[in-house]
Amino acid sequence: MIDPAVRPVVWMLCGAFLFATMSALTHALGTRCDWLVVALVRAAIMFCATGLTAWLSGVRLVVWDPPTLWMRSLAGSFSLVCNFFALTRLPVADALTLNNSYPLWIVMLAWWQLRQRPTAADLLSVLAGTVGVILVQQPHLSSGNNLAALVALTSSFATAVAMLGLHRLKDIDPRAVVTHFAGVASLVALTWLCLRGGLKAVTWQPGTTTVLMLLGVGATGTVGQVFLTKAYASGPPARVAVIGLSQVAFALGFDVLLWSRPLTPATLLGFALVLTPAAWILSRSARRPHAERSGQ
């Protein structure tokens, strides 16, 4: 038996590994299949799985109201498709590191939208994260992949917007929120694909391997989402989110083992400057509710 206090850690580590695996499969599919097809398969499988689970559990699904739900789903959908574009063009760890810089964006958005003035430590974290982003992005600027790096940063910004939207959806069952997001993401990816001319206009290498890899993206992403949901439901959300950053370490392992990626000191420093402030911001937000309850 796993200690109940340890279960959220185990579930989040499993979820982080599965998300890293999904990202590695997506990167490998970059030469076999159009990134929009991969994103569509990921979103559609998640929609079917979460929708069926919610229906069997008797969860009331929502479609039109409240408007904040649409803001969360549209922002999350934009983040999803941008992330898949970046994953097919950047090393897995780089794409995930840039995407996981969203806590830095949340600090700035909270200042602008919620009038929560950042502390000096918050601003220092944002500055350190910005330097880290430059170090991670530098090799791609010289290799012509700067667009993919900018898209990954755009994905992290959209994730921050989606996270702020989640804060206002406390009265809706999380399974209904995820189902709505997955459905909207499927429609966004499908519409984008149709505007580009449909399946006839995309690159595609048909074959059993490609199909199995696509199914692997959907399966690992969906099961990873289940582990993530269980972790958030049973542990302090912000502390669990810090553990979720371990997906970058798993992704780095895939980069080295599968693609023989050389790691430079500058790149490793960039990872640290992005992830350490992000982890600090998340862990600090976990301590705030405890301090409030303690009257501190």
What confidence tens digit (pLDDT) does each residue in 180-228 have? 888 899 998 888 888 876 666 566 667 788 889 999 998 998 888 878 7
Q: What is the mean pLDDT of the segment spanning 91-114?
A: 75
Q: What residues are paired with 204 via a beta bridge?
A: 33
Least confident span in 77-81, 104-108, 237-241: 237-241
CA distances from 205 to 25, 211, 214, 273 (A): 15, 9, 12, 38
Q: Which helix (H) or strand (E) holds 58?
A: none
User: pLDDT (tens digit, 9 = 90+) per residue, 6-64?
Assistant: 677 788 888 889 999 999 999 988 888 888 888 998 999 989 888 888 888 887 877 77
Q: What is the mean pLDDT of the segment spanning 101-119?
A: 69
pLDDT value of residue 1? 52
pLDDT value of residue 296? 33
Domain ranges of the chain: 7-294
Instruction: Count Cα neighbours of 56 within 13 Å in the Cβ-side half-sphere.
Output: 6
Give the model's confidence band at 142: pLDDT under 50 very low, under 70 low, under 90 confident, else very high: low
Is a pLDDT exceeding 60 seen at residue 158? yes
Is a pLDDT exceeding 60 seen at residue 144? no
The DSSP call for residue 89 is T
pLDDT value of residue 295? 34
pLDDT value of residue 216? 92
Mean pLDDT of the chain: 77
Q: What percent of the chain has pLDDT over 70?
A: 75
Least confident span in 96-105, 136-145, 154-163, 194-203: 136-145
Q: How far apart are CA 123 and CA 48, in angstroms?
A: 41
Q: What is the mean pLDDT of the segment spanning 255-266?
A: 83
Q: What is the mean pLDDT of the segment spanning 61-77?
A: 80
pLDDT value of residue 22? 92
pLDDT value of residue 26? 92
Give the model's confidence band at 165: pLDDT under 50 very low, under 70 low, under 90 confident, else very high: low
pLDDT value of residue 290? 41
Is the bond into 66 cis (omega within 30 degrees of 0)?
A: yes
Helix, strand, coil content of the chain in percent (nearest 5): 80, 0, 20
Q: How far apart are CA 123 and CA 236, in angstroms?
A: 25
